[in-house]
A and B are shown apart, each in its own frame.
Chain A
Amino acid sequence: MTDRPDNRFVDDAPFDPQASIQQLERADLDAPNWLLVWRKFRTHKLGLISGVFLFLCYVMLPFAGFIAPYGPNDRNGEHLYAPPQSVNWFYEGKFVGPHVYPIVAEADLETFQWKFVPDTDDPRPIRFFCEGSEYRLAGLVKVDTHLFCAPDGATLFLWGSDRLGRDIFSRILYGAQLSLTVGLIGISVSFFLGILFGSVAGYFGGRIDWTINRVIEILRSLPELPLWLALSAAVPSNWSPVAVFFIISIILGILDWPGLARSVRAKFLSLREEEYVRAAEMMGASSGRVIRKHLLPNFMSHLIASATLSIPAMILGETALSFLGLGLRAPAVSWGVMLNDAQNLASIEIYPWTAIPMLPIIVIVLAFNFLGDGLRDSLDPYQQ
Chain B
Amino acid sequence: MSALLSVRDLSIGFGTGNSVVTGVNFDVKAGQTLALVGESGSGKTITCRAALRILPRTAQIRSGSITLTDSKGTCDLTTVSERELRKIRGNRVSMIFQEPMRSLSPLHKIGNQVSEVLWLHRGLSESEARKQVLTQFERVGFPDPQRAYDSYPFELSGGMRQRAMIAMAMVSKPELLIADEPTTALDVTTQAQVLGLIKELQRETGMALILVTHDLGVVANMAEQVVVMHKGRIMEAGAAAPILTAPAHAYTKQLFDAAPEIPDQDAVGIPMPNEDLILQMKGVSKTYTMRSSKGWQADKAIYACRGVDLNLARGKTLAIVGESGSGKTTAARIALGAELPDPGGEVLFRTAPDADPITVHSMTRAQRTAFQRKAQMVFQDPYSSLSPRMRIQDAMTEPLEIHRIGTTAEQRDKAAEMLQRVGLTEDMLKRYPHAFSGGQRQRLSVARAMMLDPQLIVCDEPTSALDVSVQEQILTLLENLQDSLNLSYLFISHDLAVVARIADEVAVMRRGLIVEQAPPETLFYNPRHPYTKALIAAQPEPDINRPIDLQLVSLGAGAPDSWDEAFRFSDTVIPSLVELEPGHKVRCHV
Enumerate chain B residues within 8 angstroms of A281, measured Cβ to Cβ.
338
Known A10-B236, A11-B235, A15-B250: A24·B379 in contact at CB below 8 Å: no
Nearest CB of A to B453, in Å: 13
B interface with A by C-beta (< 8 Å): 25-27, 29, 230, 233-239, 242-243, 248-251, 254, 336, 338, 368-369, 372, 376-377, 379-381, 384-390, 395, 398-399, 402-403, 423-425, 431-432, 434-437, 439-440, 443, 445, 448, 452, 473
Closest residue on chain B to residue A26 by CB atoms = B435
- Extra 5 A-B pairs, beta carbons < 8 Å, given A33-B389, A283-B376, A283-B399: A10-B235, A11-B233, A25-B435, A32-B432, A275-B380
Contact of A1 with B by CB under 8 A: yes
Known A283-B372, A283-B376, A283-B399: A294·B233 in contact at CB below 8 Å: no
Contact of A284 with B by CB under 8 A: yes
Q: Can you give 9 contacting A-B residue pairs, CB < 8 Å?
A: A13-B233, A21-B473, A24-B431, A26-B435, A29-B434, A275-B384, A276-B387, A279-B448, A284-B372
Known A17-B250, A22-B424, A275-B381: A1·B27 in contact at CB below 8 Å: yes
Closest residue on chain B to residue A13 by CB atoms = B233
Nearest CB of B to A20, in Å: 10
Contact of A8 with B by CB under 8 A: yes
Contact of A282 with B by CB under 8 A: yes
Enumerate chain B residues within 8 angstroms of A382, measured Cβ to Cβ.
388, 434
Contact of A220 with B by CB under 8 A: no
Nearest CB of B to A234, in Å: 43
- Inter-chain CA distance A27–B428, complex, in Å, is 11
Enumerate chain B residues within 8 angstroms of A280, measured Cβ to Cβ.
398
Q: Are A284 and B368 in contact (CB under 8 A)?
A: yes
Q: Are A26 and B434 in contact (CB under 8 A)?
A: yes
Known A1-B237, A33-B388: A24·B248 in contact at CB below 8 Å: no
Closest residue on chain A to residue B382 by CB atoms = A275
Contact of A297 with B by CB under 8 A: yes
Q: Are B243 and A8 in contact (CB under 8 A)?
A: yes
- Inter-chain CA distance A32–B448, complex, in Å, is 20
Q: Are B369 and A8 in contact (CB under 8 A)?
A: no
Q: Are B385 and A276 in contact (CB under 8 A)?
A: yes
Known A1-B26, A15-B249, A284-B372: A30·B432 in contact at CB below 8 Å: yes
Known A283-B399, A284-B402: A9·B237 in contact at CB below 8 Å: yes
Q: Are A276 and B386 in contact (CB under 8 A)?
A: yes
Q: Are A11 and B423 in contact (CB under 8 A)?
A: no
- For the complex of A and B, the 8 pairs showing the least CB-CB separation, nearest first, are A8-B238, A30-B435, A29-B434, A25-B437, A275-B385, A1-B25, A297-B389, A276-B387
Nearest CB of B to A12, in Å: 9
Closest residue on chain B to residue A301 by CB atoms = B389
Nearest CB of A to B22, in Å: 11
Enumerate chain B residues within 8 angstroms of A297, measured Cβ to Cβ.
387, 389-390
Contact of A31 with B by CB under 8 A: yes
- Inter-chain CA distance A21–B445, complex, in Å, is 15
Nearest CB of B to A216, in Å: 24
Enumerate chain A residues within 8 angstroms of B423, measured Cβ to Cβ.
21
Nearest CB of A to B60, in Å: 15
Within 255-295 of A, Cβ neighbours of B (below 8 Å) are at 274-276, 278-285, 289, 293-294
Per-residue CB contact flags for chain A residues 105-117 toward chain B (1 = under 8 Å, else 0) read: 0000000000000
Enumerate chain A residues within 8 angstroms of B380, measured Cβ to Cβ.
275
Closest residue on chain A to residue B338 by CB atoms = A282
Enumerate chain B residues within 8 angstroms of A206, measured Cβ to Cβ.
none
Nearest CB of A to B471, in Å: 13
- Inter-chain CA distance A276–B379, complex, in Å, is 9
- Inter-chain CA distance A13–B251, complex, in Å, is 11
Nearest CB of A to B239, in Å: 7
- Inter-chain CA distance A26–B437, complex, in Å, is 8
Q: Are A298 and B387 in contact (CB under 8 A)?
A: yes
Closest residue on chain A to residue B391 by CB atoms = A32
Q: Are A283 and B473 in contact (CB under 8 A)?
A: no
Enumerate chain A residues within 8 angstroms of B235, measured Cβ to Cβ.
10-11, 15
Enumerate chain A residues within 8 angstroms of B379, measured Cβ to Cβ.
275, 278-279
Q: Are B431 and A30 in contact (CB under 8 A)?
A: yes
- Inter-chain CA distance A350–B180, complex, in Å, is 71
Q: Are A11 and B384 in contact (CB under 8 A)?
A: no
Enumerate chain B residues within 8 angstroms of A284, measured Cβ to Cβ.
368-369, 372, 399, 402-403
- Inter-chain CA distance A281–B369, complex, in Å, is 11
Closest residue on chain A to residue B257 by CB atoms = A17
- Inter-chain CA distance A94–B505, complex, in Å, is 100
Q: Are A25 and B440 in contact (CB under 8 A)?
A: yes
Which of A7, A9, A25 is within 8 Å of B234, CB to CB?
A: A9
Which of B248, B338, B435 is within 8 Å of A29, CB to CB?
A: B435
Q: Are B403 and A29 in contact (CB under 8 A)?
A: no
- Inter-chain CA distance A13–B448, complex, in Å, is 38
Per-residue CB contact flags for chain A residues 316-342 toward chain B (1 = under 8 Å, else 0) read: 000000000000000000000000000
Nearest CB of A to B38, in Å: 13
- Inter-chain CA distance A15–B249, complex, in Å, is 9
Nearest CB of B to A25, in Å: 4
- Inter-chain CA distance A293–B389, complex, in Å, is 9
Contact of A3 with B by CB under 8 A: yes
- Inter-chain CA distance A31–B439, complex, in Å, is 20
Known A9-B236, A382-B388: A279·B435 in contact at CB below 8 Å: no
Per-residue CB contact flags for chain A residues 219-251 toward chain B (1 = under 8 Å, else 0) read: 000000000000000000000000000000000
Within 93-137 of A, Cβ neighbours of B (below 8 Å) are at none
Q: Are A283 and B238 in contact (CB under 8 A)?
A: no
Closest residue on chain A to residue B460 by CB atoms = A275
Among A274, A284, A285, the one with the most B-chain Cβ atoms within 10 Å of its Cβ is A284
Among B380, B381, B387, B443, the one with the most A-chain Cβ atoms within 10 Å of its Cβ is B387
Contact of A5 with B by CB under 8 A: yes
